[in-house]
Structure 1
Amino acid sequence: MRRTPTTPTELLARARQLAGLTLGDLAGTLNTPVPANLRRHKGWVGRLLEDALGADASTAQAPDFAELGIELKTLPVDTSGKPRESTFVTCVELAHPDDIRWETSHVRQKLARVLFIPVLSETGIDLGDRLVGQPLLWQPSPAEEALLRADWEGHMRTIRQGYAHAITARDGEVLQIRPKGARASSRVWGIGPSGELELIQPRAYYLRAGFTAGIIARSFALST
């Protein structure tokens, strides 16, 4: 892992140096083996770029570049630059929802400032041959934060009522919630319909692909 960058400018410059490399090129410089696929190696691309850029987060709740307050998010994109899937943000805080407000939430902390790095991930391209794209350092506009906050507050109302299990991927305009866990049997403590803590399936927040597509389109003047 490289030295942690000390300024956003240094981080962005370092990320730009990676643009045009393949994941295989990058893995080679870090002496990291490239898996055959991501089925058993979820998160490998993100961890590779974290190591290349010198991420310094010590906890899952902190942004990847904790001292800079910047989160790193890789975006698998097609040849037109459009994201192919939703983007994981952070796990849902289920155990004590009454204690959480938007201003202090993990979601807001993670999305306060994000370094998006597109990675060309068309079907048929081997993992090691996928190209790293030009980075984008993004901060939500007031309008974007209002959308995120409205979705988050809607989800939290349902969670506080003990019905986290009733939230589906269809809920939320830009911020959705989906089950999250290494196994379907995974369980964490959360509020149930009775108001008492019970073991429920863990869940996580994701940015919809349409939302990140709009960020990329506005930044790089792409056609949506």
Structure 2
Amino acid sequence: MTRDTASSNEISLAYDPTSADSIIEYAKRLEGKTLREMCDAPDLPDPHTRRGSFGNAVEQYYFGYAINSDSAPDFAEAGLELKTTPMKKRADGQLVAKERLVLTMIDYMHVPMESFEDSHLLDKVADLALISYLYEPDKNPVDYKIQFAERWQIPDGDIPQIKKDWETVVAKVMNGHAEDISGSDTMYLEACTKAKDSSVRTSQPFSDVPAKPRAWAFKASYMTGVERQLLAHSESIRRESGEESLGILELIRKRFEPYFSMNQDELTELFEVNSSAKSAYALVTNRILGVGDKSTIAELDKAGAKPKTIRLRPNGTPKEAVSFPAIDYFELEETPFENSLFKEQLEQLYLFVVYQDTGDENYVLKDVFFWRMPEEDMPEAKRCYEQMRSNVKEGNAESSVKSSENRCCHVRPHARNKADTRPQPHGEPVTKKCFWLNQSYLRDEIAKMMTTEK
């Protein structure tokens, strides 16, 4: 190993640092255990104050090598890079990635001279020892339970999309617009900001405008998909011969295209789905994509995309409006739009599976595409949010925001009945309400996407 190990003077390593198989076998002893149980690791600093303390402890106390900034793989003789990544448990009990996995810094000056196949990024992630642990805020990091330890390489089916993401970012650098790079540009791979504070800037090769330093990272959504696959909670869409270079949407559209113009009855009969089941449309989506009924779709997990069936009336207006979870009036009063759950929900990526009524509620499979609220519409959504927030602050939570008052969004009740209420900070409890996307807004967005995708 190029890193200094403690083996020569202090301990005898329990694995062979020149063998990837030996390293992984040793790493897998951690599964279901904690660092405190497996090695002499002291209590660690709060990860909020010292990022990376858990990963450093795994390296130092479990694998027995000193930490340094060497750019070579952690286990250089085995060609294996060690990465630790946290998971967290959601309120519904599902495990998801807590954060993105940072891989390596982007050198704006050098990256335009690379091809994806010969890139520093691919070299950095060629072969990983991936250790995932469950983050629990009330525990010291040495007491986090290890979920799995696996040897991991980028799946062949993910390479086309990661290449597209890499090329999207590099194109901005080559066009002299590194300052405009955004996480929303890409699906799996992102160029995340990486500096001591937000004021730091660095030079770029084709512009005098300084840009934020950034690092290549796998998005948290991508890591959720990876981890769910390793835990056998999701399935990938199988690729056929000739589909190796297709991006996610290209692959999904290819699966759906043979069924365009079929109606819901024909599809449920073909895929042996109970047409009266509440989940009938979702089951048809899974079966078109060749994924089990109870599995999540790995490609959508990795893209952070939620599949959503949209049924259109003959005039193109959605039959059902899109709503968000019930408003917590106390949280609404205290939280500006920029930090709100509502903004986070608007930034959600959806896979819209669109059916259109051709008459007499004969819904025909029409199209499939990805959608999220465009950045230019966020100020209008913010206006709706802040208007409702002002209502709550003034003790007037019973007042809503009408669809006629905002181009994108509105607020209205979403409750079982008038007795289904929530408390507010400055008055009597009021009926549960939520934010909704305007049907006219969604109609126009869907029409635009369906035209664009052709």
Using the size of structure 1 for normalisation, the TM-score is 0.84
User: In structure 2, do the counterparts of structure 1 residues 148 and 184 end up closer, same or farther at CA, with 3 Å as the change threshold?
Assistant: same
Correspondence for 2:143: 129
Are 1:200 and 2:211 an aligned pair?
yes
Shift of 1:170: 1.3
Other structure's SS at 1:170 match: helix
CA 1:96–1:140: 2 relative to 1, 3 Å: closer
More strand by share: 2
Q: Determine if the alignment matches structure 1 residue 19 to structure 2 residue 26.
A: no
**CA deviation string 1:128-177 (max 9, x = no partner):** 32112220111122221222111111110111112111011212110011
1:69 to 75, 79, 90: 79
1 CA distance for matches of 2:95 and 2:25? 21
1:24–1:127 Cα contact (<8 Å) kept: no
Residues 38 and 211 of structure 1, relative CA distance in 2, 3 Å threshold:
same
The answer to whether the 8 Å contact 1:174/1:207 transfers is: yes
Aligned residue type for 1:47 = N
Match of 2:20 among 1, 8, 32: 8
CA deviation after TM superposition for structure 1 residue 204, in Å: 0.8
Q: What is the one-letter code of the residue matched to 1:66?
A: A
Do the aligned partners of residues 185 and 199 (structure 1) sit closer, same or farther apart at CA in structure 2, a change above 3 Å counting?
Answer: same
SS at match of 2:164: helix
Say which one has the larger Rg.
2
- Given that 2:116 and 2:163 are in contact with CA atoms closer than 8 Å, whether structure 1 keeps it comes out as yes
Letter in 1 for 2:221: G
**Aligned partners of 1:74 and 1:117 also within 8 Å:** yes
- Secondary structure in 1 matching 2:163: helix
Which 5+ residue runs of structure 1 have no aligned equivalent? none
- Determine the C-alpha separation between the residues in 2 that align with 1:208 and 1:86: 5
CA contact (8 A) 1:171 1:177 kept: no
Question: Which of the numbers 26, 29, 49 marks the counterpart of 2:40?
Answer: 29
Deviation at 1:212, TM superposition (A): 1.9
Number of aligned residues: 218
Displacement of 1:121 after TM fit? 0.3
Distance in 1 between the 2:116 and 2:48 partners? 34
Query: Higher relative contact order by CA 8 Å / sep ≥ 6: 1 or 2?
Result: 1
Distance 2:30 2:179 in 1: 41
Aligned to 2:56: 47
Instruction: Decide whether the 8 Å contact of 1:116 with 1:136 is kept in 2.
Output: yes
Distance 1:57 1:33, change over 3 A: closer
2:227 pairs with 1:216: yes
- Once the two structures are TM-superposed, the CA of residue 59 in structure 1 deviates from its matched residue by 5.4
Distance 1:113 1:56 in 2: 21
What is the alpha-carbon distance in structure 2 between the residues aligned to residue 127 and residue 58 of structure 1?
Answer: 21
Structure 2 residues without counterparts, runs of 5 or longer: 1-5, 8-12, 235-295, 297-454
Residue 90 of structure 1 corresponds to: 104
* Cα distance in 1, alignment partners of residues 66 and 154 from structure 2: 22
SS in 2 for 1:159: helix
What is the TM-score when the length of structure 2 is the normalising length? Answer: 0.44
Instruction: Say whether the 8 Å CA contact 1:56–1:64 is kept in structure 2.
Output: no
1:88 deviates by 0.6
Question: Do residues 185 (structure 1) and 199 (structure 2) align?
Answer: yes
Equivalent residues in 2 for 1:95-106, closer than 5 Å: 95-106=109-120
How far 1:216 sits from its partner (Å)? Answer: 2.2
Secondary structure of the residue that 2:229 maps to in structure 1? helix
Letter in 2 for 1:61: S
1:3-58 Cα offsets, whole Å, 9 max, x none, are 462211101111012223324445x615x5511x1233111111112222256997
Helix, strand or coil: the match of 2:185? coil
- Residue 142 to residue 120, structure 1, CA distance change in 2 (3 Å): same
Identity of aligned residues (%): 26
Aligned to 2:445: none
- Note if contact 2:75-2:81 (Cα within 8 Å) is conserved in structure 1: yes
8 Å CA contact retained: 1:75, 1:119: yes
